[in-house]
Amino acid sequence: MTDPLSTIVDRLRAAGCVFAEDESALIVAAATSPAEVDALVARRVDGEPLELVIGYAEFCGVRVTVCPGVFIPRHRTEFLVREAAALTSPGNVVVDLCCGTGALGLALSTLVPGVSVTAADLDPAAVACARRNLGATVPVYAGDLFAALPADLRGRIQVLLANTPYVPTDEIDLLPSEARDHEHHLALDGGPDGLDLQRRVAAGAAEWLAPGGHVLVEVSDRQAATARDIFDAAGLAARVAESKDWDAIVIIAARR
């Protein structure tokens, strides 16, 4: 017999879920039977991320399908998308690099209808997940950063979303278990200082951006100055955007 809602809340709270009431309601809404409620609660109690348990994440007002192993979009990254939206016009060419679920490209195309989105990721699981979210009309390529993109995009990208991994390798074990145990390390590991992928994006961005085009990446507070300098050194005009509300920092770099 399925637990009453109050009992589900108690079980989740005992498992360490801070927002047990909200999570209980989402689990009950996602289930199609009392037996499935029990199964979903058990998965959450075992430490599986809520988004995987219910099958989706809410991001920028859009419901994004999530898949095992693929990076789950974080709410703080909504700041990056909204900063990108302020730089985007209908008809612009947009690329979601290191796309994961495709959440950033999906959200930006919802905020700015009429953009032309292309996405890419190195992880085959992410590519498959992004194709589910972005639909048949949006090309999603498998490959390593710019090498995945078709050559005809070179010099034409107005907005490049590059939510690269930026956790230093030695700090992955310090992440919450929901991340380190359920997301591929490929989507988390940014190298010794967390900025290896951003160096590679910066090195190639000018060649792929249209004149006046922008690339946006997310960083931590302690990485912001170094990341800005990386993009400046690559010949781009970089600035730091910060949001206290989102607890997020984004580097925005423009092709000169």
Structure confidence by residue, pLDDT tens digits, 158-211: 999 999 999 999 999 999 999 999 999 999 999 999 999 999 999 999 999 999
H or E segment and range at residue 57: strand 56-59
pLDDT at 1: 44
Q: What is the pTM of this model?
A: 0.94
H or E segment and range at residue 217: strand 209-219
Q: Percentage of the chain with pLDDT > 70?
A: 99
Counted residue by residue, the chain has a size of: 256
Task: Work out the angle between the directed axes of helices 103-111 and 124-134 (0-180°, nearest 10).
Answer: 20
Under the banding of pLDDT at 50, 70 and 90, the label for residue 28 is very high
Where helices occur in the chain by DSSP H, the ranges are 5-14, 20-30, 34-45, 50-54, 78-85, 103-111, 124-134, 177-180, 196-208, 224-233
pLDDT greater than 80 at residue 4: no
pLDDT at 5: 86
